[in-house]
Amino acid sequence: MNKSAASLTPIPPRIWKIAAVAGAGAFMAMLDSTVANLALDAIRDDLNSPLATIQWVVTGYLIALAVSLPLAAWLGHRFGYGRVWWWSLAGFVGGSVVCALAPDPGSLIAARFLQGLAAGIMVPAGQAVIGATAKRHQLGRLMGTLGLVIALGPALGPGLGGALLEMTSWRGLFWLNVPVGLLALLAGRRLIPSGERDPRRTLDWPGLILLMLGLPAALYGATRLGTEKIDAPAITTLVVGLTLILVFTLSATRKQRPPILDLRLLAIRRFRAASATCGLTGANLYAGLLLLPLYFQTGSGFDATTTGLLLLALGLGSALILPIAGALTDRHGPAAVSLAGVALLALTTLPFLATGTLPPNALAVLLILRGAGLALAQMPAMTGAYMVVSTRQMGDATTLVNIVQRIGGALGAITVVVVLTKTGDSYQWAFAGLLVLALLNVLSALGMLSRRKI
């Protein structure tokens, strides 16, 4: 691919519209997961239910998302990714309506589970639509701009959710999805290509069951270890989940018929390296999101407001650089940009190894740079993974990358917890663990390099 040609080739407006409509669902899924956390107390009071029950409004959504994620690739092959995206978005909007009207905790949790099932299919299906529609040298700009929009979900969620809670009630948070979702559904009917379908594609039931049990078990076990004390049930759940995923991996490579997820993609060196980079960047992201607030408040004595502003700087750094990262990816290729990002990630971890605390202004600059490093590392790596597969393999590729990102994030969080527990809450050792993750990220990004331009 010619560098200058790639940088000068405009993206047709129709492709931008397809990306915007396909990305609307991902934006809603991110926004919804954020605002639901804010509403737990209000829901508990209104429905007169204990927090132990109401927390399943959040937990059930996350588990359902992990359960349905492995189905996305098979459904896309069987029915066409455009159709799957449309119907999963319709399911998400329908789940939002049921959430808003829920008369009791049971129906609300069930509706949230439906939302999670739909989101787990909708996000990779939307990415597959974009990857199959756009040209390879357009993916960087599209994914960068789309990433900016999706990143606004967690950033806008707390403020928007708080305002809605003040003006209406927790039900208004779910009604918010309905007009946005209906507009996306109407636009999708006209813009989103249905995609090719294969009616003869059979479902790999054993593989599906292994992943539908293993993936949520691993994520739940890691999440519990990251948010609660380290105990036998959490460790057992994590080990069982990872074991089931390993069994699926071994069996999928030996099947005669198509498995639920085509792991042969991992034989492609640059896809394997790009996926590993996405997973390790996810580990860096979630490990940092767990460690930094603890360090600022407990280790440095900052109040909640200062801590919140510092974390906002981290998100701001990612959001500002994403469109630039997309343009750089299309111009120079994903490997070089991702390598620069992971190097920046490692460099911005080093100052935290020193004793003493930097002033808030210096920390804000450091976190803006760290946020930029995360964006420069992950988005080009994701784009690089999609660049090296065929259109027909795109659905398996998007599903695999999403699974690797989630597992990486969970394992990154537990890495921090284990280090803090074993070292008596030594933040220097925890940041050293973060640096090791960043250096591993450098090695995976090096694997994306090729003598031939993608």
Confidence (pLDDT) at 88: 95
CATH 1.20.1250.20 domain span(s) along the chain: 9-189, 262-454
Question: Token digits for 453?
Answer: 């331009």
Maximum pairwise Cα distance, the chain: 63
**Quick check: 285 and 412 in contact, CB under 8 A?**
yes
Residues of the chain with pLDDT under 70: 1-8, 33-34, 37-38, 149-163, 223, 225-231, 255-257, 450-454
pTM of this structure: 0.80
**Quick check: 220 and 237 in contact, CB under 8 A?**
yes
Alpha-helical runs (H) found in 168-268: 170-175, 177-191, 205-227, 232-252
Class of domain 9-189: mainly alpha
CA dist list (Å): 362 to 79, 199, 340, 358, 442: 52, 58, 22, 6, 25
Q: How far apart are CA 210 and CA 239, in angstroms?
A: 14
Confidence (pLDDT) at 338: 94
Q: How far apart are CA 155 and CA 164, in angstroms?
A: 15
Q: Give me the CATH code for the 262-454 domain, please.
A: 1.20.1250.20
Spell out a b/e string for 186-197, using b for 16 or more CB atoms within 10 Å of the CB, else e: ebbeebbeebeb
Which amino acid is located at 153 in the chain?
G
